[in-house]
């Protein structure tokens, strides 16, 4: 069965600190996709990144970067120079491509609450 573990329930940092959110996954699939979503206090879910299992290159987008390591089944997310606006719950998710008619059901981790304080 698919499983995503986000062991950090809550992280508090001071603004401008770097912070890494951990994500460990389990799957028997050889082809799969990993995602990160952000849920700010307003409640909506915002898509951040998708990574397929064949692409282990790290990705950087502004202050955000992602480290995908297949050997350790991890897909960690780092925010550099954190800001108060980064305060949110962050979810890591894993796709399951074996739905009826195709399509990907996402298995979500339980989320990490990030609090960035002044």
Partner 1 sequence: DAGITQSPRYKITETGRQVTLMCHQTWSHSYMFWYRQDLGHGLRLIYYSAAADITDKGEVPDGYVVSRSKTENFPLTLESATRSQTSVYFCASSEGDSYEQYFGPGTRLTVT
Does the footprint of partner 1 cover residue 7 (CB under 8 A)? no
Exactly one of 66, 75, 82, 109 binds partner 1 (CB under 8 A); which one?
Answer: 109
- The residue from 45, 60, 81, 84 that contacts partner 1 (CB under 8 A) is 45
CA-only gyration radius of the chain, Å? 14
Q: List 39's β-bridge partners, or say none.
A: 89
116 binds partner 1 (CB under 8 A): no
In the list 20, 58, 69, 110, the residue contacting partner 1 (rule: CB under 8 A) is 110
Minimum CB separation of residue 108 from partner 1 in Å reads: 4
Return phi, psi of residue 72, to 5°.
Answer: -110, 5
- Binding residues (CB under 8 A) for partner 1: these are 4, 33, 35, 37, 43-45, 47, 50, 52, 91, 95, 97, 99-106, 108-111
């Amino acid at each position: 069965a698919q499983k995503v573990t986000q062991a950090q329930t809550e992280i508090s940092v001071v603004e401008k600190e770097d912070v890494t959110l951990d994500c460990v996954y389990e799957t028997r699939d050889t082809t799969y996709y990993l995602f990160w979503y952000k849920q700010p206090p307003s409640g909506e879910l915002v898509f951040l990144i998708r990574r397929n299992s064949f692409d282990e290159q790290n990705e950087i987008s502004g202050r955000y970067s992602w480290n995908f390591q297949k050997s350790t089944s991890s897909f960690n997310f780092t925010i550099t120079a954190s800001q108060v606006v980064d305060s949110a719950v962050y979810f890591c998710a894993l796709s399951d491509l074996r739905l009826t008619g195709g399509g990907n059901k996402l298995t979500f981790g339980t989320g990490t609450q990030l609090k960035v304080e002044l």
